[in-house]
Amino acid sequence: MKKLKFTSLLLIIALTSCFPIDEKQKVLDLKQEILNVEAEFAVMVNEVGIAKAFIHYAADDAVLMRNNNLFLGRDAISNMYTSKEKDPNVSLTWTPDFVDVSRSGDMAYTYGEYRYTYLDANGNMQSETGIFHTVWKRQDNGDWKYVWD
């Protein structure tokens, strides 16, 4: 009887040690990674400006849609932002309301509300709000970069 209990215990230990990391915890950890990247991105926008931050976080093959125009690739995004330096009269803030990640852990997406505030040609502060949607892809070096915004 002792031998059967001992064998059963060993079998249980062997089987449970073969299970992968808890999938729910893995997903929660990956979602937190994305939320951290979003927060770092937002801080960078306000510290060095929208142009530099959007270029920094763009994947080489990123697609950016602005005013119903597509900018394909990091170089095109950089060219679009060439004339836009950090402007103290411009701010962009956003907060993801939702984040999800792929089971493989290499893709994710977020969406939520943004607010863009700027000084218009007449010197009046204007504010626009809307919904953003960003698709993130883990790069070969482990960094997250957006592939769609």
pLDDT value at residue 19: 47
Give the torsion sign (CA, 148, 99, 131, 127).
negative
**All domains of the chain, ordered by start, with CATH?**
23-148 (3.10.450.50)
Dump pLDDT digits (tens) for 9-46.
444 555 445 445 688 899 999 999 999 999 999 999 99
CA 111 to CA 135: how far, in whole Å?
9
Confidence (pTM): 0.81
Any idea which residue has 């040690």 for tokens? 17
Dump pLDDT digits (tens) for 78-103.
999 876 666 788 899 999 999 999 98
Q: Which residues, including other chains, have CB under 8 Å from residue 45's CB and lie 6 or more apart?
A: 53, 54, 92
- Scanning 49-130, the segments in alpha helix (DSSP H) are 50-56, 74-81
